[in-house]
Amino acid sequence: MGGMVMTLGWILLLGFGVLNLWVLYRWLAPRRQLGWLGLPGAAWGASLLLFGLWPNPLALISFPLLQSLAFWLLFHRLGQDAWEDPHSRSK
């Protein structure tokens, strides 16, 4: 791959990974469920490792696939009550 394409690939991987983890942090922090942040973080790390070792389009497409799988597992494990607003619960 060309230098410009490689740079763009790294920028996209890093940018979207940080954005995904930031949004997830903002969603999990009020629910006190930050332990689950490692699942999408590991998927992001695996994508970075794959693209670092084999910089090709298939390794680049692993990011959305692994992130989607991690988010699906996360939402599945947390269940339906995770979608509730933590501030709307009666005390």
For residue 27, the tally of other CB atoms under 10 A from its CB is 16
Output the pTM of the full model.
Answer: 0.74
- 88 has pLDDT over 60: yes
Per residue in 20-64, pLDDT (tens digit) is 999 999 988 998 888 889 999 999 999 999 988 988 888 888 888
For residue 50, the tally of other CB atoms under 10 A from its CB is 19
The dihedral built from the CA positions of residue 44, 46, 49 and 55, taken in this order, carries a sign that is negative
Helices (H) and strands (E) in the chain — how many of each?
A: 3, 0
Domain span including residue 47: 35-79
59 in any annotated domain: yes
Structurally, the chain folds into a number of domains equal to: 1
16 in any annotated domain: no
CA atoms lying within 13 Å on the CB side of residue 68: 5
Per residue in 61-85, pLDDT (tens digit) is 888 899 999 999 988 888 765 556 6
22 in any annotated domain: no
